[in-house]
A and B are shown apart, each in its own frame.
Chain A
């Protein structure tokens, strides 16, 4: 059973387009994190959201945590080839030792 469902799993777009990746669950999380991973490397943390309804921006990336803390989205404006990679959402629950539950990832390809 996948506790965190990410969609879409694959996304291929042209440079300059906008996109949104979704991360959904029926469970409540105390925090939700987004990571970006390149082939052969470990995930790199982009952002952590902890408050329901929270919105965080990182240059052209906008992250939102759902009001009920069960879902999140990542929106990229004017995508660039450098944004290509695997995007992972991961949730943490309270009193679980900081253990993260990961979604299956969204493979993004941005073509010039």
Chain B
């Protein structure tokens, strides 16, 4: 296993279009997280899954955003009707479940850089 993979690395889209990002976590990790990072800021939590169940969504995740993790493996994050304010780096991370995850840290992917023009 080579770590957390994210695809695509870069995405440029026109305002109003829909985009979908994919994340493949470390296979033995049952928790998967999505974060968003804008320039000069630390990552902000969006949502997380334990296996296939989405357990928490941030208020940052408007109804234009949806995330899935079918079968508890890879995850997708879709943004509908993109806006310029959605431009950011979208980061995926995985960890073992429970306090082990919080105590051992995450493994992050390289992120997807979204630019909405």
Chain A residues within CB distance 8 Å of chain B: 4, 6, 30-31, 33, 35, 40-45, 48, 50, 88, 90, 92, 94, 97-105, 107
Q: Let me know if A98 and B31 touch, CB within 8 A.
A: yes
Q: Let me know if B42 and A98 touch, CB within 8 A.
A: no
Chain B, 65-107, CB within 8 A of any chain A CB: 91, 93, 95, 97-99, 101-107
Q: Let me know if A45 and B50 touch, CB within 8 A.
A: no
Q: Let me know if A98 and B40 touch, CB within 8 A.
A: no
CB contact under 8 A between A94 and B113, given known A102-B43, A104-B42, A105-B42: no
Chain B, 31-56, CB within 8 A of any chain A CB: 31, 33, 35, 40-45, 48, 50, 55-56
Q: What string of 1s and 0s marks CB contacts (under 8 Å) between B12-35 and chain A?
A: 000000000000000000010101
Q: Let me know if B50 and A100 touch, CB within 8 A.
A: no
Q: Let me know if B45 and A45 touch, CB within 8 A.
A: no
Contacts of A97 in B (CB 8 A): 31, 48, 50, 55-56
* Given A97-B48, A98-B31, A104-B40: 9 more A-B contacts, CB < 8 Å: A41-B110, A42-B93, A42-B110, A45-B107, A48-B103, A97-B50, A100-B43, A100-B45, A101-B45
A98 to B105, CA, bound (A): 9
Tell me which of B50, B56, B105 has the highest count of chain A C-beta atoms within 10 A of its own C-beta: B105
Minimal Cβ-Cβ distance residue in A for B104: A48
Q: How far is the CB of B67 from chain A (nearest CB, A)?
A: 14
Contacts of B45 in A (CB 8 A): 99-101
Contacts of B109 in A (CB 8 A): 42
Minimal Cβ-Cβ distance residue in B for A33: B105
